[in-house]
């Protein structure tokens, strides 16, 4: 089971570190990361394996959202199925 974490906002030092340490804290294994900075807007998409998650998925979603709130970024954590069903036939 995988989830997609997206981070959008103003670029700054330590975004990846903060998000991935929250993943580590809850035993979510980071599989792949793509990121880009366009005109100061930072966009990162992170694929994580959540099969061994040490907490409830909705708790994990909330925690990541909190990280975003602290950094002034918008962080969404969504189950991969939503992207599978919308973009793949």
Partner 1 sequence: MYNASDILETIRMIQDEHLDIRTITMGISLLDCADSCIGRSCDKIYDKITSRAEHLVREGEEIERKYGIPIINKRISVTPIAMLAGASGGDPVQYAHTLNRAAKAVGVNFIGGYSALVHKGFSPGDEALIHSIPEALSQTEFVCASVNVGSTKSGINLDACRLMGGIICDCARKTADRECIGAAKLVVFCNAPEDNPFMAGAFHGFGEPDCVINVGVSGPGVVRAALQGAGDCDITQVADIIKKTAFKITRMGQLVGAEASERLGVPFGIVDLSLAPTPAIGDSVAHILEEIGLEKCGIHGTTATLALLNDAVKKGGVMASSKVGGLSGAFIPVSEDAGMIDAATQGSLSIEKLEAMTAVCSVGLDMVIIPGDTHPDVVAGIIADEAAIGMVNSKTTAVRLIPAIGKKEGEQLHFGGLLGYGPVMKVGRGSPSKFIARGGQIPAPLQSLKN
The yes or no reply on residue 76 touching partner 1 (CB under 8 A) is: yes
- Min dist CB 20 to partner 1, Å, is 16
Angle ∠(80,81,83) on CA atoms, nearest 5 = 70
The yes or no reply on residue 81 touching partner 1 (CB under 8 A) is: yes
Supply the angle between the helices 15-25 and 57-71 in degrees, to the nearest 10: 160
From first CA to last CA, the distance across the chain in angstroms is 19
The yes or no reply on residue 4 touching partner 1 (CB under 8 A) is: yes
DSSP state of 12: -
DSSP state of 28: P
* CB closer to partner 1, 24 vs 78: 78
Among the residue ranges 9-17, 19-27, 71-79, the one whose residues contact partner 1 (CB under 8 A) = 71-79
Residues in contact with partner 1 by the rule CB under 8 A:
4, 6, 8, 32, 34, 36, 43, 45, 47, 57-58, 61, 74, 76-83, 85-87
């Amino acid at each position: 089971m995988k989830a997609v974490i997206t981070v959008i906002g103003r670029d700054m030092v330590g975004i990846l570190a903060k998000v991935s340490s929250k993943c580590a804290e809850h035993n979510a294994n980071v599989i792949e990361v793509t990121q880009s900075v366009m005109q100061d807007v930072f966009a990162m998409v992170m694929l994580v394996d959540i099969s061994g998650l040490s907490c409830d998925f909705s708790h994990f979603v909330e925690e990541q959202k909190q990280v975003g709130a602290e950094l002034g970024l918008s962080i969404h954590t969504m189950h991969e199925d939503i992207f599978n069903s919308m973009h793949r036939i």
